[in-house]
Structure formats: structure tokens, C-alpha cells
Structure 1
């Protein structure tokens, strides 16, 4: 059975099982839980690309370049505060590529990097909502007691079904097209829908 056709509660259970195949990701989840950053999620490529790998029979870590660890702390928007968290993460994660970002600060640098302004986010979920493709809009974390929290505003069916759908709420078309070009090379099975 295709996982994308399961009821959403069963898809969440399958997601947890699938992500468990990626030992690097599970180690990052464990470390992120120890850091206990406000509103944190492990998100983006490491999540959906692990699913694509497992669904297509590839090694779980293949093509996963890094692990995006988002958190939200509006109490201090300075680079120094974010850098202190990044350094703490570096100590915890060692050589594993973990990109830690305070999503409360994104609006300060986004336009310079991507050419369009970004309104301030009000939570980590808001940042996840703004990814260039709806397929990317998935975040996971493990809370105290081992409970998994999964944020997926567009559901999980497209992730399991290898469908990449544009999300033109913030990122420009060029970002979507650059990302999907790389993904198509790594996962030719993807159905990449055109930018509207």
C-alpha cells in the first residue's frame, strides 16, 4: 500500500518509523532534545529526503546534505545570541552538519540572501510554512517523555508520494527551480509540479 493513502494518524506513525532508518537524523533529534531550544523542530531536507530515500529503496542518508534545526527566540535578535546557540550545537553535534537558525531573526537577513523581503515570523511553524515547496513544510521534534510532535501544514501524502508542489508564499521562483533541479538529479522518481 502507498503510504500517502493512509489516514493521517497512520502516516505520522509511518513517518516516525521511516525517519528511524536514518541514524544520523535520530542522533540529531536526540541532541536537539538535549539542547531544549524554544519551539525547536528538525525540518526541511533531512526529513523529506529521508522519506524519499526509504520509499525508493535508497540508503536513508543518501543525498541528505545537512540537518536544519530551527528554533524561535524573539527575546534577543542579535547575531551574538544565535551564534552562542550555534556554538553549543557544534559542541553537541561534532562533525555532523547541523544548521541551527533562530527563525525570529530571519527577516533581518532574508532579503539580502534571496532578493525578497520576509515579514518577521511569529513562531517556528510560521517559518516552516514559508518553504519554497509544500513538500518541505514538515518539522519533527521529540518532546520530554518521548512524544513526537510533527508539524506538517500540507499533510504528508505528497512527501510519501514523491510529489513536489510549489509554495509561492515567500521564496522566489528561482529558489524553487534551483532546489527542484538538484532534487530531480538525486531522485528522478519525483513528480515536480511547475511554479504557478
Structure 2
């Protein structure tokens, strides 16, 4: 069973597909890069639900923080580079230095700061590799919720009615409870 960050790192390091994806993303040599969100969360929830098959991901979210490469065109070029290595992977590459504008938020200071402002605590997770191929885990909102199968809003998404609505809409749209039936959702109400 999974109990802590070390257990999460272990299951990722033992997953040859995930390690290959991480090694591929590292080839871009991006500053402050991470693969985040569903890539990590789904692995944890699949494991906790005893799934033998990996839940299909709509995309692989590669994020980075580079004030010198601040354009959507640059991100598309990076996605194309990754697609040349692994053409069947649905890559999504986003520079967090510009994503605050897309999300109508205050500027982020780093990729981890951006992760802390993701809608759900269970999604505010990222992994990358160090120079010796060891997995590094970033969990700015902690790992307790994802390990306890709790789906709750990050503190950032409890501050305004607009953000609360975004969280609630995502819960409905994503349909996570139909895939991982043991998830408990903590709804936000006025």
C-alpha cells in the first residue's frame, strides 16, 4: 500500500513506461521542468484501486518556468520535439511564466508555485528526474489527500466564488469518480 512520498517515488521508478516518459521530457533540458497532474495522480489512484491496466491519460503535462522562452509557439515546438521521440504520446508543454495570464491570475514565481495553484490538491503533484535517474517529487499541497483518495480544492481555489465554480465544474467534467470509485469528493459550497 502507498503511505508516503517515498512510496510514490518507488512506484514511479518501478514503472518502465513512466521512467521512459520522464527521460524523454528531460531531453528538452528545460529550466524548472516537471511532468505533473494526471501523470502522477492517476498512477497513485490506479495503484490504490488495484488496477492492472494503466488508466489512459488525455495528455502528458510537461511544465517549465523560463522567462526567456515566453510564447505559445515555443511550447508547440517543444511538443513537436517530444512527438518526434514518442509520437503516440499526447504531449502538452506549458511555460508557467505565461500561464498566469491564460488563467487570469497573479504571476507565478516557479513551476512549483504554479502547481500549488492547480484546482485540486490531488493534482498538484509533479515529478522529474535528477542526473542519476532518480525521481524527484514535488507536492506543494502535500500527498495526504491523493493517498487518502480525497479530492478537494487547493487553498487557492477556495478563495473566490469563481474559483470554487471552476473546481466544482472540473469534478463534473472529469468524471474521476466513475474511473476511481473510492474517491471521496469534498465539495465547496457557499
TM-score, normalization by structure 1: 0.84
Paired with 2:171 and 2:16, the residues of 1 have a C-alpha distance of 25
What is the CA distance between 1:155 and its match in structure 2?
A: 1.7
What is the CA distance between 1:93 and its match in structure 2?
A: 2.4
Paired with 1:43 and 1:136, the residues of 2 have a C-alpha distance of 8
3-state secondary structure, aligned to 1:91: helix
Structure 2 residue corresponding to 1:178, chosen from 164, 169, 179: 169
Residue 130 of structure 2 is aligned to residue 131 of structure 1: no
3-state secondary structure, aligned to 2:127: strand
Paired with 1:87 and 1:118, the residues of 2 have a C-alpha distance of 28
Paired with 2:171 and 2:42, the residues of 1 have a C-alpha distance of 12
What is aligned with 2:66? Answer: 73
Q: Which runs of 4+ in 1 moved over 6 A?
A: none
Deviations 1:149-192 (A, max 9, x none): 21112221221111111115157233322332311111121011
Paired with 1:108 and 1:165, the residues of 2 have a C-alpha distance of 24
The worse-fitting range, judged by mean Cα deviation, of 83-92 and 125-134 is 83-92
Unaligned runs of 5+ in 2: none
What is aligned with 1:88? Answer: 81
What is aligned with 2:132? Answer: 145
Residue 167 of structure 2 is aligned to residue 167 of structure 1: no
Equivalent runs, 1:1-196 vs 2, <5 Å: 3-4=2-3, 11-20=4-13, 22-110=15-103, 117-170=104-157, 172-181=163-172, 182-196=175-189
CA RMSD of aligned residues (A): 2.0
Q: 1:89 to 1:63 in 2, by over 3 A?
A: closer
Whether contact under 8 Å (1:24, 1:61) holds in the other structure is no
Paired with 2:148 and 2:116, the residues of 1 have a C-alpha distance of 20
Unaligned runs of 5+ in 1: 5-10, 111-116
Paired with 2:57 and 2:83, the residues of 1 have a C-alpha distance of 18
Whether contact under 8 Å (1:68, 1:99) holds in the other structure is yes
What is the CA distance between 1:21 and its match in structure 2?
A: 5.6
TM-score, normalization by structure 2: 0.86
What is aligned with 1:114? Answer: none
The worse-fitting range, judged by mean Cα deviation, of 71-80 and 171-180 is 171-180
Deviations 1:79-135 (A, max 9, x none): 23222222222222211112111111113322xxxxxx2112121111101111111
